[in-house]
Amino acid sequence: MPKKLSENSIIKRSPIVCIMGHIDHGKSTLLDYIRKTNIVDTEAGGITQRISAYEVVHKTPEGKDERITFLDTPGHEAFGFMRTCGTKIADVAVLVVSAEEGVKKQTLEALKCIVDSRIPYIIAINKIDRPGANVEKTKNSLVENGIYIEGYGGSIPYIPISAKTGQGVPELMDMILLVAEMEELTGDTKKLAEGIVIEAHLDKQKGMTAVLVIKDGHIGTGMYVVCGDRIAPTRMMESFLGKKITEAVFSSPIRIIGFDKLPKAGGYFVTFDNKKDAEEYILEEKEKEKKIPIKNYSAEVTNDEADLNIIRIMIKTEAAGSIHAVEHEIDKLNKEKITIKIVGAGTGNISENDVKQAFGRNPAIILGFDVKVDASAKDLAERSGIEIKTFDIIYKIAEWLAEEVEKRTPKIMVEEVTSEIKVLKNFSTTKDKHVLGARVEKGTVFVGEEAKIIRKDVEIGRGKIRDLQKDKNKVGEVREGVEFGCQFQSEIIPLPGDKIQVYKVMEK
């Protein structure tokens, strides 16, 4: 780990903030508003692409300029993954909740991530400018879901805002700084930088590039950054605005260009004064990696595992530590009707032998993380119908597997009553066709729908609505509370007082 150079250089640092919540509740709109209004025009004009982390300057009510770093993460899945890797990426979270819709399932998923990370958070009740906004109802929705805000039995601060107009956003920024002040965030200006990799990609012109957020310490030109077994000199450093810089300190988002291999998003980085120390650190970490035990799985297929409701998985990763991360992602999946069974795990590229081990009455899917597929393995897999999926972002494995679970989950066909009719009179019956006078008791009735005849709470037959009339005019539908005439086709004669339940067959 980087050595501490001084004990008397510890000063206050600015907070790193993540904004989370339901995708439709205005998270991105809020981030865009903050970015556009708190980065000076001349600087903002230099931003040519969407960035994953940026610094803003907020003027407090006292007239003081305070810096805040905002993370524009892909969502709570990515945030959660970074947390499981042992990284505390943010200091403060803002949970955005719509004043129109209140708490949704995705809100609670984001909240769980925040709570598990043990960081303080603020509720931003957004869209207060919308006609359907109801702040009081939203507050009650928060409390009903165990989010006890100030004045409602708890201490969680909340700010009503409009990310569209900016109403309440300055107050939200003030609250972020107040919460951060209570956390007493500090950093050491003389410590070698360490922090989190937010994203990494291959720039066709510049090469291997990564966006880092410094959690502590300083970084300058002539140093070396290490993330896992990835290394980069600090010859080419940029600010979040894309401007060349020669140094940066804690809480700053920076871009480092020149990694030998792409570092992992969510990975922890450290900094060294020289290449020798950096390379020694990498060798030490690799030795530690070799000592991480890999669970011994059996690839043999039992009679139960031949069941197609069991998804058999083999894991191949570039390092032993990554196997545990993949296992964790798999454990998070909802597997009520489908079982996921890991039947093998190992490090290195996917080989022909791995494909052979995947054979069976219920072939295993080979999941590779940050590994390549040998040509012979690819050829054998294609000929044998063995599926190989490779990923370079771990949480994408869980997303893909969730879709696979959904596809393989047995579907149950159920009948769902959509409307109910009360028979008032049977005007005539000719063979299996009956002219009825009726009233819609609930729902809306449409021509052509299937229905059940219910007499004294017992189903006595089934039929179909062939024709609907209202005021002697043919219509396509009749709504609740309306009396109408209809032609009903059935082998059973409906009688006054019977109920006709219209239904649809649904897949669940």
Q: Do domains 10-187 and 413-507 have the same CATH topology?
A: no
The structure's pTM equals 0.67
- Tell me what pLDDT residue 53 has: 84
Phi, psi (rounded to 5 degrees) for 77: -65, -50
CA of residue 65 relative to chain centroid, distance? 34
The span from the CA of 134 to the CA of 22, in Å, is 17
Supply the CATH classification number for the domain 194-290: 2.40.30.10
- Tell me what pLDDT residue 76 has: 52
Per DSSP bridges, beta strands 194-203 and 499-507 are: unpaired
Mean of the per-residue pLDDT values for the chain? Answer: 86
- Tell me what pLDDT residue 48 has: 37
Regarding predicted confidence, which is higher, 482 or 393? 482
How sure is the predictor about 85, in pLDDT bands with cuts at 50, 70 and 90?
A: very low
Angle at 304 between CA 300 and CA 309, to 5 degrees: 105
- With 0-12 / 13-18 / 19 or more C-beta atoms within 10 angstroms meaning exposed / middle / buried, residue 372 is middle
The span from the CA of 218 to the CA of 250, in Å, is 6
- 432-435 long-range Cβ contacts below 8 angstroms, 24+ apart: 432/463, 432/489, 432/490, 432/491, 433/466, 433/487, 433/488, 433/489, 434/487, 434/488, 434/489, 434/490, 434/493, 434/494, 435/485, 435/486, 435/487, 435/488
Q: Domain residues of the chain, as ranges?
A: 10-187, 194-290, 311-408, 413-507
How sure is the predictor about 6, in pLDDT bands with cuts at 50, 70 and 90?
A: very low
How sure is the predictor about 109, in pLDDT bands with cuts at 50, 70 and 90?
A: confident
Spell out the residues 6+ positions from residue 342 whose beta carbon is closer than 8 angstroms to its own: 297, 313, 314, 315, 327, 330
Fold of 311-408: Rossmann fold (3.40.50)
Average of pLDDT values for 2-12?
Answer: 63
Supply the CATH classification number for the domain 10-187: 3.40.50.300
- Tell me what pLDDT residue 80 has: 58
Looking at the DSSP assignment, which residues form a beta bridge with residue 389?
A: 367
- Tell me what pLDDT residue 335 has: 66
- Tell me what pLDDT residue 74 has: 55
Question: What DSSP character marks residue 145?
Answer: T
Q: Which CATH class is domain 413-507?
A: mainly beta
